[in-house]
Chains A and B, each alone.
Chain A
Amino acid sequence: MSAPAVTTDGRGAAASRSRRRPAKKRPTKQLLGLAGILAFLLVWELVPRVGIVEARFLPPASEVIAMLFNDFGLTAFWLAVGETMLAWFLGLLMAVVLAVVLGFIIGSSSFLRKITNSTVEFLRPIPSVALIPLAVLLFGVKIESSLMLIVYASFWQVFIQVLYGVADVDNVAMQTAKSYGLGRFARVRYVVFPTALPYLMTGVRLAAAVALILAITAELVIGSPGLGREIALAQSGGAISGMYALVLATGLIGVLINLLMRFIERKTLSWHSSIRSEVIV
């Protein structure tokens, strides 16, 4: 299914023989993408200016972007970003550690896999936001509230991928390792872990996006400090451009996290012949 696109027979051989024109780079893709962004901004600029939506509900793009650049100069903004990123990072870290430990233990025993299966299938779909009232009761507006939601939501993403990864271990490789007298720990280190690593990285990438969503949600709904709370405050305080600027900022953070995670994934898996496609879970 995922075979590479066919290069038409003969092109490779022909390339070396027939004369080439001077290579013209045509970065049409990037240009089109840039044009898309500009077009979007233009529409956004025009909609309030023409009056399709009132400017007090949707300020023009230029105003919001100016506001965003203004924010970039404010300590308060960077403090809020810092709070959000701290919750994101701690939550993600805790979720990953927990999921890796539990995933490897449960994944490598078929008894544990079978006995936990029903519980996992029941707990996993529970929306993490259902825990919001509980988090408020237990921790109030402290960062622990955010962490509780982030850890719960991100944990499952990583845990499930690790289970898949450990289950994917090649029997032949495992038997080879055994026959060469590798102990239990060595087998996990040299056989199970490398097999599961691509899955783990996929899980971490998905979890990183989920963690950001939950960090912002917690701040927005519960009011723990961070960008989400700033958005809620801006909205209720009528600072409309400020609110849109903060929304843009969360989007930029989301994009950065995606890029970072893809970069880390590529770096860690560069040895891997085929970066595996995601499992549908």
Chain B
Amino acid sequence: MKILKGFAYGLALPVILVLIWWASTLGTTNFFVPTPATLAEAFAETWFGERIVSDVLPSIGRLLIGVVAAIVIGIAAGLLIGSVKWLRDFTEPVLEFFRAIPPPVLIPVLMLLMGITDSMKVVVIISGCIWPVLLNTIEGVRAIDSVLSDSAHTYGIGGWARVRYLVLPSAGPQIMAGVRQCLSIGLILMVISEMFASSSGLGFTIVQFQRSFAIPEMWSGIVVLGLIGVAMSFIFQWTERRILRWYHGLREVENAA
């Protein structure tokens, strides 16, 4: 019964919205807004063919490589910079500046340095996504509790064991917050690097549809991007809940007190 109720709550509004959409497009031929049926048809025709292989998968592949590389490099560099005080002070202003640069402006810069290639698009994603992970890791490492650190020290936990059992989990909540920002920036950069400088990929295809006024196809492309965003968000939340189960529990206990 409870599950059923939750289901009803989850579905009610989307169903109502689709119904409104369907009703308002019924009988009219608004150029910009296709009917649900037309959109569904366009979606199936456009994306369930070779486009998956030629445009969708390569885009997602670049996104994955870029994001994973940014996370790995960001955490590794963050661990290093975060644990050395002078290095932290030394790099902080420069890193803050790099974080403040809106990542899309890296596209023209990297286009110039690397030409329009796949690796340039990956580098765009890496160089735009790395900052939230890097800076959050530094902050997380810096903020390790001094008593916890002393405890580990007195029990002879040092070196790699210290990183694995103390530093990484302790900075975990901060790191995950950075990863979340990193994912959404990554998706944005994937799309606009293809819109700006490409002859294939999702972003390029969608802009092509818009330029040729293939409106239902354009909408279907927007839906694809939305689905990728939603899928990434779900994967992230699922992972985050597993990794940070202790953290959410701790917060609940603290908030209840």
Are the CB atoms of A118 and B14 closer together than 8 Å? yes
* In contact, A228 and B104 (Cβ under 8 angstroms): yes
A116: which of B13, B173, B209, B233 is its contact (CB, 8 Å)? B13
Q: Do the beta carbons of B109 and A243 come within 8 Å of each other? A: yes
B97 within 8 A of A: yes
Q: Is the CB of B90 within 8 A of A33?
A: yes
Give Cα A258 to B132, complex, Å.
14
Q: Which of A5, A35, A57 contacts B113 (CB 8 A)?
A: A57
Complex formed: what's the CA distance from A238 to B188 in Å?
26
- Complex Cα distance, B94 from A252, in Å, reads 11
Proximity bits, A182-211, B CB within 8 Å = 1, else 0: 000000000000000000000000000100
- The B-contacting residues of A in range 109-144, CB under 8 angstroms, are 114-119, 121-122, 124-134, 136-138
Given A122-B14, A125-B233, A129-B191, are A33 and B112 neighbors across the interface (CB < 8 Å)? no
Q: Which B residues touch A20, using CB under 8 A? A: none
Does B188 lie within 8 Å of A114, measured CB to CB? no
Which of A10-18, A71-79, A90-98, A215-223 lies at the interface? A215-223
Contact bitstring B91-110, A, C-beta under 8 A = 1, else 0? 11110111111111101110
CA distance A107 to B83 in the complex (A): 40
Which of B91, B108, B180, B185 sits near A36, CB closer than 8 Å? B91
| Bound: A212/B103 CA distance, A | 10
CA distance A133 to B12 in the complex (A): 29
Residues of B within 8 A of A37 (CB): 93-94
Residue A87 interfacial (CB < 8 Å): no
B173 touches A133 (CB 8 A): no
In the assembled complex, A159 has its CB within 8 A of some CB on chain B: no
Q: Is A3 within 8 A of B145, CB to CB?
A: yes
List B contacts of A67 (CB < 8 A): none
* A29 interface hit (Cβ, 8 Å): yes
A-B Cβ contacts below 8 A, count: 180
Out of B102, B109, B219, name the residue touching A213 (CB < 8 Å): B102
Most buried by A among B9, B12, B108, B185: B108
CA of A116 to CA of B14 in the docked complex: distance in angstroms?
A: 9
For residue B231, give the distance in angstroms from its CB to the closest CB of chain A: 8
Q: Which residues 258-281 of A sit at the B interface, judged by CB distance below 8 A? A: 258, 278, 280-281
Q: How large is the interface on A (under 10, 10 to 19, 20 to 34, 35 or more residues)?
A: 35 or more
A101 within 8 A of B: no
Tell me how far the C-beta of A91 lies from the nearest C-beta in chain B, rounded to whole angstroms: 14
The one of B10, B92, B102, B206 in contact with A217, judged by C-beta atoms closer than 8 angstroms, is: B102
Expressed in whole angstroms, the minimum distance between the Cβ of B136 and any Cβ of chain A is 10
Assembled-state Cα–Cα distance A136/B180 (Å): 28
Contact A251 B226 (CB under 8 A): no
Q: Say whether A65 faces chain B, with CB atoms less than 8 Å apart.
A: no
Is B97 in contact with A127, judged by CB distance below 8 angstroms? Answer: no
Q: Given A126-B229, A228-B105, is A29 in contact with B89 using a C-beta cutoff of 8 Å?
A: yes
Contact string against A for B residues 7-27, beta-carbon threshold 8 Å, 1 for contact and 0 otherwise: 001111110010000000000
Residues of B within 8 A of A58 (CB): 113
* A118 interface neighbour in B10, B102, B112, Cβ under 8 Å: B10
| Distance to closest chain B CB from A146 (angstroms) | 13
B89-A33 in contact (CB<8A): yes
Among A117, A134, A240, A247, contact of B218 (Cβ-Cβ < 8 Å): A134
Decide: B94 and A129 in contact? CB cutoff 8 A: no
**Assuming A116-B13, A127-B187, A137-B32, is B104 touching A213 (CB within 8 A)?**
yes
CA of A116 to CA of B108, assembled, Å: 39
What chain B residues lie within 8 Å of A134 (beta carbons)?
A: 32, 210, 218-219, 222
B residues in contact with A232, CB < 8 Å: 108, 196
Q: Is B161 an interface residue (CB 8 A)?
A: no
CB-CB < 8 A to A278: which residues of B?
Answer: 177
Min CB distance A217 to B, Å, is 4
Check B230 against A125 for contact (C-beta < 8 Å).
yes
Beta-carbon contact of A220 and B107 below 8 Å: yes
Q: Is the CB of B104 within 8 A of A32?
A: no
- Residues of B contacting A235 with CB < 8 Å? 108-109, 111-112
Q: Does A28 contact B (CB under 8 A)?
A: yes
CB-based contact B233/A124 at 8 Å: yes
- The answer on a CB contact under 8 Å between A133 and B209 is yes
A32: chain B residues at CB < 8 Å are 86, 89-90
Which of these, A35, A116, A247, contacts B109 with CB under 8 Å?
Answer: A247
Tell me the minimal C-beta distance from B21 to chain A in angstroms.
13
Given contact pairs A36-B92, A127-B188, enumerate 9 new A-B contacts (beta carbons under 8 Å). A6-B146, A40-B94, A121-B230, A213-B103, A217-B102, A220-B108, A243-B109, A251-B97, A258-B100
